[in-house]
Amino acid sequence: MRSRLLRSGAASIRSSPISLPRPFSWTCKACQIRGTRNRQFSSRPPPEKPYYITTPIFYVNAAPHVGHLYTMVLTDILKRWQQLKGNTALLCTGTDEHGLKVQRASAKAGIEPKLFCDKGAAIFKDLAQKAEVTYDHFVRTTDKEHKEAVEYAWFLLKEKGLIYTAKHEGWYSVADEAFYPQSAVQLQIDPPTGRKIMTSIETGSELEWTSETNYHFRLSAFREPLLEFYKANPSWIKPEHRMKEVIEAVESGLEDLSVSRPSDRLTWGIRVPEDETQTIYVWLDALMNYVTKAGYPWAPGRESAGGWPADCQVIGKDIVRFHCIYWPAFLMALNLPLPKNILTHAHWTLGGSKMSKSTGRVVDPFHALDRFGSDVMRFYLAHDGGLSNDANYDNTHIIKTYNTFLNQNLGNLASRVLRGKRWSVRGAVERVGAKPSEYWEEGPGSKFYKNTLSTVPANVAEALDSCDSRKALQDIAEFVRSTNKSFHMSKPWEKILDFAPGEPGEDVDRIVYQAAEGLRIVGIMLQPYMPNKAKMLLDQLGVNESRRTFEYCSPGKDLDYGVPMIELGGKHQGVLFPPLPSEE
């Protein structure tokens, strides 16, 4: 059943004879301008491709929920990781503003569609800013440049004979903006009204029967090319089990895809070039956003200047079919390279049920960010959020994570090491930091130095390079616990030599230095997750800003820190993770 659900939505197609149209005379203005400009600079060497990562673009028909925040945060973490390694990285996000559900939502609100979309886009921009999501591009499908890129892509597909007209009948979901075959629908009773309605088995959204003549894309022609690509790139979709589901869906066959709607039914969208009676299908329109902001259509020599092909595209599991079947087929048809990785994540549930704007079962991300702060929310979502399996959102879990880990482990360790009155971090770094590796093979903390301090950064890097930010953060968290445990069990306060003022003894220096190194490395690795708290920790340690990259994530790599750059303060002033207010 699952494989059938991933098929194209064409339920019943009666194709008309194919007659290729005469080549269009139409050319978008942006292409004319770009062509003129780039001819002048054709002798320049092509620029180096930046790392390019994208979120899906979000519908503006309703307010965002915490699931949207999760997608943004995951993407931002991976972008910041690349920057931590010294790479140039670009993040693209934005809003999907066309389609029937936006048209109907704006009509219900009594607002012109563009004004409705302006308001919705502003809300998603505010959410990104509040969550410290450092996007470089915010694309809107109502942007002029995007419209021209979609029209250009349509022109190419039409000229290649990959688009034709046919009558289409089937069950259509306005919420999903997709057709479903008969095998993917079910009859249900709507509890509030008692009405009998047809719904999608896959998403549960209500369906309506439509019969119309529109344009179709020859998706069926790409079955074999897609299967060949999947075979050559077995880890293209992460996690692995979703790759298997997509392969099964394509192996079972692909039907051609309806890629337009009659404009008398769908007025809010991009009209088909040279045919005002049709509006381009919202998913063909929307998927093009990823190349729009990368500069498509490109002039020769500029193909990768904006970052395409994307190094990673982050999506929710509910839009796998569109991104892993339709999108690569469109790209193949346009002779464009495919993205290097598709990272799919699971959903957040609330009380065991999927969050949904249509049902009202959502968590307001603005309220959550106001309550806990951006760093804590980013940490919680990355640590507890699921890639393979859904995760249940619960405020008590956030509070527990804060109290038991951030406050009592990381915060407590930083306070004990940095505020120790009978030792000095700077003194320990100066006296034992430059010791050779042989020095750490025996003595206090030797096992921790060899088995944890020297190995964890590589494990974290491996996980993040594989786009598994959850595993990486769990490795970091365990590293903190191990550092805390090693420091506590070593009991440096019992080993201090009273007869050497200012120099507590070599054993104490070893213990304090190793704990400080653990904090320093943790501070560097936490920057993609908790940018503000990580900065505060590194400032407290006195780590120079030029030495906060992954290059310095190994013991002994930085010997110039240890003098705080900010006031450590008293009991709660300047504390990394102060206790939560009692009313929690």
Burial of residue 458, with CB atoms counted within 10 A of its CB: 0-12 exposed, 13-18 middle, 19 or more buried: exposed
What pLDDT is recorded for position 570? 60
Residues 346, 465 within the same domain: no
In a domain, residue 569? The reply is: no
CA 31, distance to chain mean position in Å, is: 30
Q: Residue 205 pLDDT > 90, yes or no?
A: no
In a domain, residue 561? The reply is: no
What pLDDT is recorded for position 8? 36
Tally of domains in the chain: 2
Residues 522, 449 within the same domain: yes
pLDDT digits (tens, 9 = 90+) for 26-75: 455 445 544 434 434 445 666 789 999 999 999 999 899 999 999 999 99
pLDDT digits (tens, 9 = 90+) for 453-478: 999 999 999 999 999 999 999 999 99
Residues 319, 449 within the same domain: no
Q: Residue 415 pLDDT > 50, yes or no?
A: yes
Residues 260, 163 within the same domain: yes
What pLDDT is recorded for position 568? 84
The DSSP code sequence of 125-140 is HHHHHHTT---SEEEE
| Percent of the residues in the chain that have a pLDDT greater than 70, as a whole number | 87
Residues 325, 180 within the same domain: yes
pLDDT band of 190, cuts 50, 70, 90:
confident
Look at 16-30, 175-189, 536-550 and tell me which has the smallest mean pLDDT.
Answer: 16-30
In a domain, residue 20? The reply is: no
pLDDT mean over 383-401: 95
Bridge partners (DSSP) of residue 391 are 348
pLDDT digits (tens, 9 = 90+) for 304-333: 999 999 999 999 999 999 999 999 999 999
Residue 150's closest CA among 2, 348, 315, 290?
A: 290
H/E stretch holding 161 reads none
pLDDT mean over 122-146: 98
Residue 179's closest CA among 2, 16, 322?
A: 322
pLDDT band of 357, cuts 50, 70, 90:
low
Q: Residue 5 pLDDT > 50, yes or no?
A: no
What pLDDT is recorded for position 356? 67
Residues 244, 367 within the same domain: yes
In a domain, residue 531? The reply is: yes
In a domain, residue 436? The reply is: yes
In a domain, residue 156? The reply is: yes
pLDDT mean over 76-97: 98
Last residue of a domain, one of 341, 372, 403: 372
Residues 56, 189 within the same domain: yes
Residues 323, 456 within the same domain: no
Residues 334, 405 within the same domain: no
Q: Residue 22 pLDDT > 70, yes or no?
A: no
In a domain, residue 277? The reply is: yes
Residues 400, 365 within the same domain: no
Q: For residue 199, give the 3-state DSSP assignment.
A: strand
Q: Residue 507 pLDDT > 90, yes or no?
A: yes
What is the pLDDT of the chain when averaged over all its residues?
88
3-state secondary structure 39-89: HHCCCCCCCCCCEEEECCCEECCCCCCHHHHHHHHHHHHHHHHHHHCCCCE
Give the residue, 183 or 515, on which the prediction is more confident: 515
Residues 407, 332 within the same domain: no
Residue 569's closest CA among 427, 414, 372?
A: 414
Residues 435, 468 within the same domain: yes
Q: Residue 501 pLDDT > 50, yes or no?
A: yes
H/E stretch holding 556 reads none
Phi, psi torsion values for 93, nearest 5 degrees? -135, -175
pLDDT digits (tens, 9 = 90+) for 244-279: 999 999 999 999 999 999 998 899 999 999 999 999
CATH number at residue 470: 1.10.730.10
Q: Which long-range contacts (CB under 8 A, 24 or more apart) does 352-356 make?
A: 352/392, 354/390, 355/65, 355/66, 355/67, 355/393
CATH number at residue 97: 3.40.50.620
What pLDDT is recorded for position 582? 62
In a domain, residue 576? The reply is: no
H/E stretch holding 485 reads helix 469-490
Residues 99, 177: contact at Cβ < 8 Å? yes
pLDDT mean over 120-131: 98
What pLDDT is recorded for position 46? 67
pLDDT mean over 435-445: 91
State the residue range of the domain holding 264.
2-13+47-372
